[in-house]
Amino acid sequence: MKYPALAADYRNFRFQKINEPQYRHLWLLLIWPAYLLRYFLVEQLNPAESYTVIHCPLDDMIPFHEGFVVFYVLWYLAIVGMHLYTMLFDLDVFRRYSKFLIISLTISTAVFLLFPSCQELRPAEFPRDNLLAGIVGVLYAVDTNTNVFPSEHAIGALAVLAAAINTKSLRSPVKIAAFVLLTVLISLSTVFLKQHSILDVLAALPICAVAYGVCYGRRE
């Protein structure tokens, strides 16, 4: 696979150089410790009695299937992978991708605080006993069923897709089709694993539309 030319040379990077023009964009990576801190704070701020249960009839028609945990976990690799790829090969999209995440996750945080939500879709027991079901069990244990509307998994997947569409070296029809398929599968994984209602996924769409318009609507 032939990679494009490097957009920045990090071989001489030292933290004390981070404010130099060629490295200043790295400050945007602080979104991740801020995201994790926000996750735990929001969990503590909303009292249990304030949560609204998110549910629609379509949720009951979607069966649980542990196989979708593969695509659910791919979300983490896609999010980090796009940051690394654009950091190396397309700094303009790196900045726009980072700002897209900042804007969309800030909006979702505001929604969590103003409209606390939860879901009651998780099965009491798994229909099959296998490795993937065990992984889902671990996922359930570490990720609560609160603050689900909108789905940040769907937001993140759409952020990756938006970055791919705007990255010149990723803009071939085959590559974009692969990113579209990945976005769809990640979004589907949230409902087939009973991590989200379909309403949570749909709520991510207008948020991402706003973030896209701000970050990619005007290109220099």
* 70-125 tens-digit pLDDT: 999 999 999 999 999 999 999 999 999 999 999 999 999 999 989 999 999 999 99
Question: What is the reported pLDDT for 23?
Answer: 82
Q: Which residues of the chain have pLDDT under 50?
A: none
DSSP structure class, residue 172: S
Question: What is the reported pLDDT for 204?
Answer: 98
Question: Do the beta carbons of residue 43 and residue 158 sit within 8 Å?
Answer: no
DSSP structure class, residue 12: T
Question: What is the reported pLDDT for 219?
Answer: 57
Question: Considering just the CA atoms, what is the radius of gyration of the chain in Å?
Answer: 19
- CA torsion through residues 134, 188, 41, 82, sign: positive
Question: What is the reported pLDDT for 2?
Answer: 66
Question: Do the beta carbons of residue 152 and residue 187 sit within 8 Å?
Answer: no
Question: What is the reported pLDDT for 1?
Answer: 56
pTM of the model: 0.92
Question: What is the reported pLDDT for 162?
Answer: 97
Question: What is the reported pLDDT for 122?
Answer: 95
- Does residue 146 sit in helix, strand or coil? strand
Tokens of 117: 């939500």
Task: Give the type of residue at 131.
Answer: L
